Structure 1
Amino acid sequence: MESKSQAGPMRVLVTGGSGLVGKAIEHVVQQEGGKVDGEEWIFLSSKDADLVDVGQTRAVFEKYRPTHVIHLAAKVGGLYLHMRENLQFLRDNIKINDNVLHTAHEMGVTKVVSCLSSCIFPDKTTYPIDETMIHNGPPHDSNFGYSHAKRMIDVQNRAYFQQYGHCYTAVIPTNVVGPFDNFNIENGHVLSALINKTHEAKKEGTPLNVCGTGAPRRQFIYSLDLGRLIVWVLREYEEVEPIILSVGEEEEISIKDAVDMIAEALDFEGKIHFDTTLSDGQMKKTASNAKLRRYLPDFSFTPLKEAIKMTCSWFEINYDKARI
């Protein structure tokens, strides 16, 4: 990898560093010995710079002079917000990604690892989906603006490689669960929103209302597992082609099963009601982790039940400062 031949230790700038994945990477680097002597890691939050603005993006790069970038920042929301504001999500994310990648190029950054999303997968496809299939047809209608903006990072990475030989790459995690997420019921990630909803229902003694049928199936990865894998990608993965970071397809479970795990973790014993009048979104997005397994055959994923238990426990302990 280029960083090994580079003079001096890495200085890594992590955009979106205060979010779910950024906090997981910070934990891996600071608490799990993921950091090499002399390295600097800078975790940016939206308070440090508005990356939609090219001037602010440039200023933050000039301040920290990174040799490497992990790009996690995005304008993101829940299913229903995306359905209402596809144009806004498209425009803001195109600007963020272009500003980060082009500023990295202008400032001579050695390597950029960007984080895509499993919602970029084509809506009509065969399963399991792999890295070669992400542009084979339009994404699901519900968040097509965000999805197309995220897909464009892959297009830009190829173009930076073709024109300048840069090692800019991307990871595609499946659904992530873990501490420090946005637990907002309206626009948090699916499990985090459900954790907050279940917590509320338990507190109020009311039934738990779940949007949709509970039938959609998802692969969930624990945020700390994802953090460990992204640090590995930064250090070891030399392809420009993206890599899916996910548990195996046999680990895919229904939202209903995930709700049961949350109820158990939070000792919720009330009624669970599925509101079938509301949209389910995409029914499945089964992803293959075969490419990851070729590189890391022995990587051990945290079982989902355990990941949910740890996330629920973190949420209860940190309720006052959690994003809700």
Structure 2
Amino acid sequence: MESTAKIYVAGHRGMVGSALVRRLQAERYENIVVRTSRELDLRNQQAVSEFFETERPDYVFLAAAKVGGIMANNVYRAEFLYDNLQIQNNIIHNSYLTGVKKLMFLGSSCIYPKMAPQPLKEDYLLTGTLEYTNEPYAIAKITGIKMCESYRKQYGCNFISAMPTNLYGPNDNYDLNNSHVLPAMIRKFHEAKVEGKPFVELWGTGSPLREFLHADDLADACVYLMKTYDGEQFVNIGVGEDISIKNLAELIKETVGYEGALHWNTDKPDGTPRKLMDVGRLHSMGWKHKYDLEEGIRITYQDFLSKVEEYAV
């Protein structure tokens, strides 16, 4: 990417988008285009078309999406499918129409079959049944991958895709109703500490294994791939190591300084038993993560503390 290139970051207020903006600014890219959801509804075909015609960005990072944890994915199934398809369709298609030089589509590890072999290789896509609780979101993301592949094949577009593992970091969503497991635990343990609660209830058995990547590491990997990778095959982005939800809870509990007990509600779903990304391809390209999980959780807890008033009941 040229230093003077116009770069559109879709979803710049989210955890991933804001990390991308920070990373680009750190590398002295100054011509960055952003729009809030109030300024531009990415589900609106005409509005997105007019935006691209006016701005004509050179590069696009497609980090905008409707996201959430197990409960939100399962309850708002129609919204997760419709909203994400609309966002992707509008941005990818208008990137083609206006001659965008390169686009990166960001997906999710949930694209892989529920019982796929571990670690998850890029070749395992569409080889089995998806996890039911987040199936609509996964289908939308798979569609985005295939759109990038198809626009490349039919129109010669340099559209690439990257599949991050579970993410956390600054600007995460700490809302207990629709956040992911790590930020939800941070908030639960903090509030339990402040309120002096004797225990914290957590969903499931604690046995599932998950991999967690700091958002700033993801942004670093995305910019690296945007500069160096032009292949059709999507690329996994992760750390290549996982941790049980139970051990994650203990680590967050210690970081927050909560001294109560943990109660596991086994009537609630666990989700996919294990999700570990095979990051061999990415490592072979010369990129590796920098943040270890303990350090990353400390940083993220400080971010939560800076926003704690927003979540006060």
Shorter-chain TM band: over 0.9
Counterpart among 253, 260, 266 of residue 276 in structure 1: 266
Q: How far is the alpha carbon of 1:304 from its aligned partner?
A: 0.2
- Aligned residue number for residue 93 of structure 1: 84
Deviation track 1:193-225 (CA, whole Å, cap 9, x = no partner) reads: 111111111111112111111111111001111
In structure 1, C-alpha distance between the alignment counterparts of 2:13 and 2:185, rounded to whole Å? 21
Contact 1:48–1:60 at 8 Å: present in 2 too?
Answer: no
Q: How far is the alpha carbon of 1:139 from its aligned partner?
A: 1.5
Residue 320 of structure 1 aligns to a residue in which SS?
A: helix
Q: Indicate how the Cα distance of structure 1 residues 58 and 119 shifts in structure 2: closer, same or farther if over 3 A, else same.
A: same
Q: How far is the alpha carbon of 1:321 from its aligned partner?
A: 4.7
Contact 2:237–2:277 at 8 Å: present in 1 too?
Answer: no
Q: Which residue identity is paired with 1:29? A: L
Residue 112 of structure 1 aligns to a residue in which SS?
A: strand
Q: How large is the Cα RMSD of the aligned pairs?
A: 1.7
Q: Which residue identity is paired with 1:244? A: N
Q: Which residue identity is paired with 1:284? A: R
- Aligned residue number for residue 212 of structure 1: 204
- 1:195 matched to 2:195? The reply is no
- Aligned residue number for residue 276 of structure 2: 286
- Aligned residue number for residue 27 of structure 2: 34
Q: How far is the alpha carbon of 1:268 from its aligned partner?
A: 0.7
In structure 2, C-alpha distance between the alignment counterparts of 1:323 and 1:120, rounded to whole Å? 34
Q: Which residue identity is paired with 1:253? A: I
In structure 2, C-alpha distance between the alignment counterparts of 1:193 and 1:271, rounded to whole Å? 17
- 1:181 matched to 2:176? The reply is no
Structure 2 runs not aligned, ≥5 long: none
- Aligned residue number for residue 230 of structure 1: 222
- 1:20 matched to 2:15? The reply is yes
Counterpart among 235, 243, 246 of residue 253 in structure 1: 243
In structure 1, C-alpha distance between the alignment counterparts of 2:137 and 2:70, rounded to whole Å? 11
Q: How far is the alpha carbon of 1:296 from its aligned partner?
A: 1.3
Counterpart among 301, 312, 320 of residue 290 in structure 2: 301
Q: Indicate how the Cα distance of structure 1 residues 267 and 140 shifts in structure 2: closer, same or farther if over 3 A, else same.
A: same
Counterpart among 99, 102, 106 of residue 97 in structure 2: 106
Contact 2:9–2:21 at 8 Å: present in 1 too?
Answer: no
Trace 1:108-187 onto structure 2 (pairs within 5 A): 108-187=99-178
In structure 2, C-alpha distance between the alignment counterparts of 1:317 and 1:18, rounded to whole Å? 16
- Aligned residue number for residue 265 of structure 1: 255
Q: Indicate how the Cα distance of structure 1 residues 322 and 289 shifts in structure 2: closer, same or farther if over 3 A, else same.
A: farther
Contact 1:67–1:110 at 8 Å: present in 2 too?
Answer: yes
TM-score by length of 1: 0.92
Contact 2:175–2:311 at 8 Å: present in 1 too?
Answer: no
TM-score by length of 2: 0.95
Residue 319 of structure 1 aligns to a residue in which SS?
A: helix
Structure 1 runs not aligned, ≥5 long: none
| Aligned sequence identity (%) | 32
Most deviating of 208-217 and 129-138: 129-138
Q: Indicate how the Cα distance of structure 1 residues 278 and 265 shifts in structure 2: closer, same or farther if over 3 A, else same.
A: same
Q: Indicate how the Cα distance of structure 1 residues 320 and 26 shifts in structure 2: closer, same or farther if over 3 A, else same.
A: farther
Contact 2:239–2:289 at 8 Å: present in 1 too?
Answer: no
Residue 275 of structure 2 aligns to a residue in which SS?
A: coil
- 1:240 matched to 2:232? The reply is yes
- Aligned residue number for residue 305 of structure 2: 316
In structure 1, C-alpha distance between the alignment counterparts of 2:95 and 2:7, rounded to whole Å? 12
Q: How far is the alpha carbon of 1:322 from its aligned partner?
A: 6.8
Which stretches of structure 1, 4 residues or more, deviate above 3 A after TM superposition?
Answer: 321-324
Aligned residues: 312
Q: How far is the alpha carbon of 1:35 from its aligned partner?
A: 2.6
Residue 137 of structure 2 aligns to a residue in which SS?
A: helix
In structure 2, C-alpha distance between the alignment counterparts of 1:106 and 1:162, rounded to whole Å? 15
Contact 1:14–1:70 at 8 Å: present in 2 too?
Answer: yes
Residue 4 of structure 2 aligns to a residue in which SS?
A: coil
Most deviating of 205-214 and 83-92: 83-92
